Amino acid sequence: MTVFALLAALFLAAAIGLLAWPLAGPRRAGSLVPRAFVAAAAVAILLPLAAVLVYVQVSNWDWDAPPPTPAITAPDLQRMVGQIQEKLAREPEDPEGWKLLGRSATVLGNYALARDAFREAYTRTGGRDAEAIVGYAESLVLVDEQEIDGKAAELFEQALALAPDNPRALWYGGITAYRRGDFALAGQRWVELQNHDLPPDLRQVLAERLAALEQSQGLPAVPPEQSAAATGIELSIAIDSALGARVPPNATLFVIARRGAGGPPVAVQRRPVGAWPVSVRLSDADSMLPGITLAGGGPLTLIARISASGQPMATSGDLFGEVGHDFTSARPASITIDQIVP
């Protein structure tokens, strides 16, 4: 496999593994905005960093050259983004450069730059490059989440018309079809997506989404083990006395349920920090996508995190605690916030 193909495969895992889960469901009071999770997913995946290194180190586009391996910091990436911009100022007709700039800007959280870069790639390829189209659509949603039902939705359809088997376009195309009520088309696209080599987390999400669609059409009944989620998870959250004084004013408490250790968020609840202990009820109403149930895929990891920034992405200095939870166990769920994000 060439370096380009490897990077493309990794970027696929980044883009559709966590990026779009919050986008399919309607906004709820107190729920998280999708762009926050888009940012978290992008920052968590190092593929765009590798892509930038390949571009900067191999300026003649020799994609078969071995990628460099040194670790990269955000300032390093920022400098390399500047180098890409300088190169594009000299060679603006290079669509691959614009796409790399778009991916790198996304990692840095500069969504407006990502949008502009992908738009250049889109324009310079005459709207005939599926990767540029999907990147442009993704960046539009990062800048304004309402675009998932506007221009971004149109672009995803355009990408599917050009590349019907494009995995990212199939994922997003399923989401946009679901949001406009075309459940049959959403299911068709997600079934097709299952034929691709997907990361386990995304395959699990797809299975849950397809199961939910089948249930909504009166097909299979909800498995018995899922009924436990109907009443939600009652949580008691306390903070270690040694960390109590480190809680910043106006901090935000995020309560997150993940599928296993390090898995994708299944449900999230956001609330202001108050007196301790805190009682929280996490239910399917807090799920990241409609139809995904807390009890539908095995044990969970429950996390309580105090954020000074108010953003769901963990940052250095945040206080947190976590505990495993299994619906087959009758034990109550309780979390003690006793750790600090490095």
pLDDT in tens, 128-161: 999 999 999 988 988 887 888 889 999 999 999 9
Q: Would the CA dihedral through 248, 249, 251, 253 be positive or negative?
A: positive
Of 161, 191, 216, the residue that ends a domain is 216
User: Is the backbone of residue 6 left (phi > 0), alpha (psi -120 to 50) or beta?
Assistant: alpha
Q: What pLDDT, on a 0 to 100 scale, did the predictor assign at position 50?
A: 44
Q: What pLDDT, on a 0 to 100 scale, did the predictor assign at position 2?
A: 42
Question: Rounded CA gap, 181 and 149, in Å?
Answer: 12
Q: How many other C-beta atoms can be found within 10 angstroms of the C-beta atom of residue 66? A: 9
Q: What pLDDT, on a 0 to 100 scale, did the predictor assign at position 340?
A: 93
Helix axes 95-108, 74-90, angle to 10 degrees: 150
Instruction: Identify the CATH number of the domain in which residue 300 sits.
Output: 2.60.40
**Number of structural domains the chain divides into:** 2
Asked if 277 and 302 sit in the same domain, the reply is: yes
Q: What pLDDT, on a 0 to 100 scale, did the predictor assign at position 297?
A: 61
Q: How many other C-beta atoms can be found within 10 angstroms of the C-beta atom of residue 311? A: 16
Asked if 245 and 188 sit in the same domain, the reply is: no
Tokens found for residue 16? 């559709």
Q: What pLDDT, on a 0 to 100 scale, did the predictor assign at position 134?
A: 92
Phi, then psi, of 258 in degrees rounded to 5 = -115, 155
Instruction: Identify the CATH number of the domain in which residue 113 sits.
Output: 1.25.40.10
Q: What pLDDT, on a 0 to 100 scale, did the predictor assign at position 230?
A: 45
Q: What pLDDT, on a 0 to 100 scale, did the predictor assign at position 155?
A: 94
Q: What pLDDT, on a 0 to 100 scale, did the predictor assign at position 113?
A: 92
Asked if 175 and 306 sit in the same domain, the reply is: no
- The one-character DSSP state at 147 is G
Question: Rounded CA gap, 313 and 8, in Å?
Answer: 25
Asked if 275 and 170 sit in the same domain, the reply is: no
Q: What pLDDT, on a 0 to 100 scale, did the predictor assign at position 291?
A: 56
Q: Which domain holds residue 10?
A: 3-216
Tell how strand 252-259 and strand 300-307 pair up.
Answer: antiparallel
Asked if 114 and 33 sit in the same domain, the reply is: yes
Question: Rounded CA gap, 228 and 246, in Å?
Answer: 36
Asked if 189 and 272 sit in the same domain, the reply is: no
Asked if 65 and 190 sit in the same domain, the reply is: yes
Asked if 123 and 239 sit in the same domain, the reply is: no
Phi, then psi, of 115 in degrees rounded to 5 = -60, -45
Asked if 31 and 95 sit in the same domain, the reply is: yes
Element holding 304 (H helix, E strand)? strand 300-307
Asked if 276 and 128 sit in the same domain, the reply is: no
Segments in the chain forming alpha helices (H): 3-17, 34-44, 47-57, 74-90, 95-108, 111-124, 130-143, 151-162, 167-179, 183-193, 200-216
Asked if 27 and 59 sit in the same domain, the reply is: yes
Asked if 199 and 237 sit in the same domain, the reply is: no
Low-confidence ranges of the chain (pLDDT < 50): 1-34, 37-38, 40-70, 219-230
Of 169, 198, 216, the residue that ends a domain is 216
Q: Please state the pTM of the whole predicted model.
A: 0.49
Question: Taking the mean position of all CA atoms in its chain, how far away is CA 312?
Answer: 12
Of 158, 183, 216, the residue that ends a domain is 216
Q: What pLDDT, on a 0 to 100 scale, did the predictor assign at position 260?
A: 63
